[in-house]
Chain A
Amino acid sequence: QQQVKQSPQSLIVQKGGIPIINCAYENTAFDYFPWYQQFPGKGPALLIAIRPDVSEKKEGRFTISFNKSAKQFSLHIMDSQPGDSATYFCAALISGGSTLGRLYFGRGTQLTVWP
């Protein structure tokens, strides 16, 4: 059972556009939500992360919006560039208990930014 559901599966935008990737979860015990970026042939790289006590976090051109009541969070990429073309994964983690440290990943979104 997929604990974190991610959409869309793929996304194509023009340079300068604002792609939005959405994730949803059911387990309210999740208390840390990172986003990873993966280029072909590389491992996932940590982009940005949020805790559920804040509704938004910005780091450079990347913004996470978090809706605790809806159990949803999303990644926005401002002024997207061709170099942002990659696969993006959302994830969730419970910072305590028996699943300590285990990341639950969404299925990924393949983003293509056209010049």
Chain B
Amino acid sequence: KAGVTQTPRYLIKTRGQQVTLSCSPISGHRSVSWYQQTPGQGLQFLFEYFSETQRNKGNFPGRFSGRQFSNSRSEMNVSTLELGDSALYLCASSLETGLLEQYFGPGTRLTVT
């Protein structure tokens, strides 16, 4: 069974631009969570989606948003990019919302210049 896939793997953007990242969960998994990983703050939860609904949101500004489609694929969007948004963005999937085992994708490395 294929794992979680994320596209693109690498992205370079300029301050003020916006970006959209994509995540395809493991086949059959319906819950998708997003995390930001930086050397300074570690791994921080962004939000979780299940059945196209946001179930849970971390402490990030409104510039960070996401959505989930009927096939469970998810996208996250960051608008008005700041230098501090440079990070590895990780997507994790699980069978159901709140189910314990979460499986991560390889991440999208975003660099903001």
Contact = CB atoms under 8 A, between A and B. Distances in A.
Interface stretch (A13-21, A40-48, A63-71, A74-82): A40-48
A106 B37 CA distance: 12
Contacts of B99: 101
A44 B48 contact: no
A9 B50 CA distance: 34
A98 interface: yes
B74 interface: no
B106 A43 contact: yes
A25 interface: no
Nearest to B91: A43
Given A43-B90, A44-B43, A44-B90, A103 B98 contact: no
Interface of A: 32, 34, 36, 41-46, 49, 89, 91, 93, 95-96, 98-108
A44 to B, nearest CB: 5
11 contacts: A43-B104, A49-B101, A95-B98, A98-B56, A100-B55, A100-B98, A101-B48, A105-B43, A105-B44, A106-B42, A108-B42
Interface in B50-76: 50, 55-56, 58
Nearest to B42: A107
A103 B102 contact: yes
Contacts of B106: 41-43
Nearest to A96: B98
A100 B97 contact: yes
Contact of B56 (A36, A89, A101, A104): A101
Most chain A CB inside 10 Å of its own CB: which residue of B35, B90, B99, B102: B102
A45 B104 contact: yes
B10 to A, nearest CB: 10
Nearest to A91: B43
Interface in B69-113: 90, 92, 94, 97-107
A82 B97 CA distance: 36
A11 to B, nearest CB: 17
